[in-house]
Each structure stands twice: as C-alpha cells, then as structure tokens.
Amino acid sequence: MKLKILFPAVAMLALVIVGCRSNPIYNVNGAPVTTSTRNYSMSDVRGAILQAGAALGWQMEVARPGLIVGTLRVREHMARVEIPYDRRNYSVLYRDSNNLDYDGASIHSNYNGWIENLRNEINVRLSQL
C-alpha cells in the first residue's frame, strides 16, 4: 500500500524538478576585446561579432555604429539580444524573447546556453584578428 502512494509522489516530484528549467538570465557585460594584434579597427570588431553570430545561426543586424542586434530562432522559440561594442569591450544583453518563459528575471535555461555559445564564438573570432 505504501508503495502505491510513494511511487506517484516520487514521480510527480521528478516531473516538477525536470519541468523547472528556468534560470536567472545571463548577460555578458563588458567582456574585453582580446585580439592577437594591436592593429585592428572597430569595423574589425563588428565583423568578428557578425561572423560569430552568423556561424551559430543568429540573424545579425547592425542597428547603428557600435550596436548589433542578434535574433535566434529555434523551432518555436525566439531570442533577441543587443550587442554594444567598441575597440575595448563588448556586451551581449537580453532584449526580448518568445516562448522562453521570461518572467523579468529568469528564462528557459537553453537561452543561457545560446548566449554562452555566442560569447565563446565571438571570443574565438576576435582572437583571430
């Protein structure tokens, strides 16, 4: 009898834990632009960011000098970020999303993984300058 009651309770708890895939939103703030040379321009930084995003499936748009807007669509999900940059630093900041359960502070954990991948790819591209 105890097993009949205990098993559904444990199963329900497991579903709740697995279903909670929300984490605090991850932003990249003021990451240093690290290159292998001193002879690079702001347009080189822009190009590295654009290439990094495109390589990962992001649609990258130059909004104005020093600001790129990136949009990623995965199945029915959409994430949009702003990427302000200059010769010394760049950031990747949450702008908006659809179907990622954003509540003002937390978001689906896949979003944070996408941002980490984007940050890593930007760093790789910058290091090749």
How is the chain split into domains, by residue range?
2-127
Architecture of the domain spanning 2-127: 2-Layer Sandwich (3.30)
Q: Is the pLDDT of residue 2 over 70?
A: no
pTM, rounded to two decimals: 0.83
3-class DSSP assignment, residue 16 = helix
Euclidean distance between CA atoms 120 and 97, whole angstroms: 21
β-pair type (106-108, 22-24): antiparallel
Q: Is the pLDDT of residue 16 over 50?
A: no
pLDDT digits (tens, 9 = 90+) for 56-81: 999 999 999 999 999 999 999 999 99
